Amino acid sequence: MKQNWNKLEQIFPPTKEGTILLAEFEYLGSKKILDIQSSCNCTNFTLDDNTLYVNWKTPVRYRERDSQTFISVEYEDGTIDDLTLKTYLEV
């Protein structure tokens, strides 16, 4: 099955809590995108032509840990892709 995006996951190097991380996902598919939603309000995105630009402000909880967020893309045919952003947070 052909992948709709150039990648489904962006892994960042370890970073400090509260940092804004930037990612780009290139849409390679031909299906019509109906909706795009993030899993939290810490993530903003813009779809410009075929590139999804994502800004993720990492959470602050004063402890080191793995952290991730998702962007869900829904298509006209009812399928969904989850684009994942991950990092390890340092205090």
pLDDT in tens, 64-85: 999 999 999 999 999 999 999 9
Write the DSSP symbol of residue 28.
Answer: -
Per-residue pLDDT of the chain (91 residues; tens, 9 = 90+): 679 999 999 999 999 999 999 999 999 999 999 999 999 999 999 999 999 999 999 999 888 999 999 999 999 999 999 999 999 999 8
User: Do 5 and 80 meet the contact criterion of CB atoms below 8 Å apart?
Assistant: no
* Token pair in block for residue 71: 């962007």
What is the set of domains in the chain, with CATH numbers? 9-90 (2.60.40.10)
Return d(Cα 69, Cα 57) in angstroms, integer: 10
User: Do 51 and 73 meet the contact criterion of CB atoms below 8 Å apart?
Assistant: no
